[in-house]
């Protein structure tokens, strides 16, 4: 959520900044008119409440002295009615203002390319050589099904489309991948967390998935009490700090978690219908940071480096892009995507998204810290995948495939695979 004071102070700047994020200047004008109205009503009602408080004290004194106070009480009856009326109007205006305010995306950083969508993203760097096998690379789903380590058909029968069974060495490989990631992040100073996988609406609002993106998630309701299956560990990890006032000396905070992620993928029908790329349920290792404002962009670079470290150690070619203003996620001021090379698709695919949300989530979730002067300040929050496990497995299958259909295990994963260096039809189960 943006700071209404900031919008009030420089509306033209905000309009300009949010233009490429699908926000019209009319929306900002409407928002500001509600803000003006709201403040007028606040002054009115607060003046009346001050009067009520003063007179009520007088009534209390009189009553204590056994004097008659019926004139004051009669007068206050009207004041009370006036207050009620103004407060009702105030609630209405507040509601209208917040409806717009909580749906405004974050302001892109000055370093972010301005543009409408992914076509205006900019490549920052390319790492690792794209492999040139002497054979035509096959898709990971073909490799996986042939080895018997992935079963999409039976998963479709049991759960529906966009689900999968990992079997034998496939399951083992995924476990190796995320254990490796968690171990690496622990070395970088992240605290490992196992969070709740279902969260309430307040948490979903805190990280700004709600109210705008309710259709992208699965929500279960028991006795009228709705809980949402987390679409990313960002939600429970960031909300771990909700309603807290941290000590400046304890910042930055680094946490990491492996969780399943659940996404309805509404609106992506027909895209990536095969393979591990776009599932309703997938494992992801997430990194979350809470930092002081002046350090958050430096922390974003370090966070991105932590994610890149995984790809480098796995020997997977990738590139880093900075998302343009129109393509970045709702709460992000700046996002780097890491895209891994998928030989069979002959293109890069996203495996990580690293974002600095500034105080956008902190304002919603009340994540604050006390600075050296004892003043409370909003902290900055960051999050990044490190990495999506399923997509990483897909990338390993494709990049490490051999002509005979077997898949070589990246060196760093061999210890996690119990010494196995290659998945073949023979050892796959």
Partner RNA sequence: GGAGAGUUGGCAGAGUGGUAAUGCACCGGACUCGAAAUCCGGCGAACCUAUUUUAUGAUAGGCGCGCAGGUUCAAAUCCUGUACUCUCCUCCA
Task: Give the residue with the Cβ less far from RNA, 83 or 316.
Answer: 83
Q: How far is the CB of 409 from RNA (least distance, A)?
A: 33
Q: How far is the CB of 70 from RNA (least distance, A)?
A: 9
| Catalytic choice (145, 350, 370, 406) | 350
Task: Give the residue with the Cβ less far from RNA, 111 or 373.
Answer: 373
What the block records as the tokens of 251 is: 């910042």
> Quick check: is 263 catalytic?
yes
> Quick check: is 350 catalytic?
yes
Q: How far is the CB of 71 from RNA (least distance, A)?
A: 11
Question: Which chain residues interact with RNA by CB under 7 A?
Answer: 4-5, 39, 42-43, 45-47, 49-50, 52-53, 55-57, 59-60, 63-64, 73, 76-77, 79-80, 223, 225, 245, 366, 368, 373, 375-376
> Quick check: is 172 catalytic?
no
State how far the Cα of 22 lies from the Cα of 212, in Å rounded to an integer: 14
State how far the Cα of 260 lies from the Cα of 258, in Å rounded to an integer: 7
> Quick check: is 364 catalytic?
no
Q: How far is the CB of 43 from RNA (least distance, A)?
A: 5
Q: Is the dihedral of CA 141, 145, 149, 153 positive or negative?
A: positive
What the block records as the tokens of 292 is: 């002081």
> Quick check: is 274 catalytic?
no
Q: Which residues of 181-205 are buried (b: 16+ CB within 10 A; e: fewer)?
A: bbebbeeeebeebebebebebebbb
| Catalytic choice (353, 364, 368, 385) | 353
| Catalytic choice (21, 172, 263, 363) | 263
Task: Give the residue with the Cβ less far from RNA, 169 or 290.
Answer: 290
Task: Give the residue with the Cβ less far from RNA, 60 or 130.
Answer: 60
Q: Which residues of 136-155 are buried (b: 16+ CB within 10 A; e: fewer)?
A: ebbbbbbbbbebebbbbeeb
Task: Give the residue with the Cβ less far from RNA, 308 or 359.
Answer: 359
| Catalytic choice (52, 175, 278, 370) | 278
Q: How far is the CB of 63 from RNA (least distance, A)?
A: 5
- The catalytic site residues sit at 263, 278, 350, 353, 391
């Amino acid at each position: 959520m943006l700071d209404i004071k900031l919008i009030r102070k420089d509306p033209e700047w905000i309009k300009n900044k949010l233009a490429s994020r699908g926000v019209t200047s009319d929306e900002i004008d409407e928002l500001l008119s509600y803000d003006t109205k709201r403040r007028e009503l606040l002054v009115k009602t607060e003046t009346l409440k001050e009067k009520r408080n003063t007179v009520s004290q007088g009534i209390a004194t009189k009553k204590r002295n056994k004097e008659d106070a019926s004139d004051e009480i009669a007068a206050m009856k009207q004041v009370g009615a006036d207050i009620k009326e103004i407060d009702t109007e105030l609630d209405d205006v507040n509601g209208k203002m917040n409806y717009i305010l909580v749906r405004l995306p974050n302001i892109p950083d000055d370093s972010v390319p301005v543009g409408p969508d992914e076509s205006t993203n900019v490549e920052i760097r390319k790492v690792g050589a794209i492999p040139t096998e002497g054979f035509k690379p096959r898709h990971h789903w073909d490799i996986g099904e042939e080895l018997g380590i992935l079963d999409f058909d039976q998963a479709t029968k049991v759960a529906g489309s966009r689900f999968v069974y990992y079997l034998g060495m496939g399951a083992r490989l995924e476990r190796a991948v995320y254990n490796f990631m968690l171990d690496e992040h622990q070395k970088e100073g992240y605290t490992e967390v196992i969070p709740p996988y279902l969260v309430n609406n307040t948490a979903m609002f805190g990280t700004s998935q709600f109210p705008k993106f309710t259709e992208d998630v699965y929500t279960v309701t028991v006795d009228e009490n709705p809980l949402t299956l987390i679409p990313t560990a960002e939600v429970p990890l960031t909300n771990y700090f909700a309603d807290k006032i941290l000590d400046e000396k304890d910042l930055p905070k680094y946490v990491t978690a492996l969780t399943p992620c659940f996404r309805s993928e509404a609106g992506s029908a027909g895209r990536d219908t095969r393979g591990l790329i776009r599932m309703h349920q997938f494992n992801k290792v997430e990194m979350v940071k809470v930092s002081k404002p002046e350090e958050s962009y430096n922390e974003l670079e370090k966070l991105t480096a932590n994610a890149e470290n995984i790809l480098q150690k796995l020997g997977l070619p990738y590139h880093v892009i900075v998302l343009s203003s129109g393509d970045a996620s709702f709460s992000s001021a700046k996002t780097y995507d890491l895209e891994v090379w998928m030989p069979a698709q002959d293109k890069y695919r996203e495996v990580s998204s690293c974002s600095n949300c500034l105080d956008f989530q902190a304002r919603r979730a009340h994540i604050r810290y006390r600075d050296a002067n004892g003043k409370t300040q909003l902290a900055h929050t960051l999050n990044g995948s490190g990495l999506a496990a399923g997509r990483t497995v897909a990338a390993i299958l494709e990049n490490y495939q051999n002509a005979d259909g077997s898949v070589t295990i990246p060196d760093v994963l061999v210890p996690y695979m119990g010494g196995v260096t290659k998945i073949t039809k023979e050892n796959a189960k």
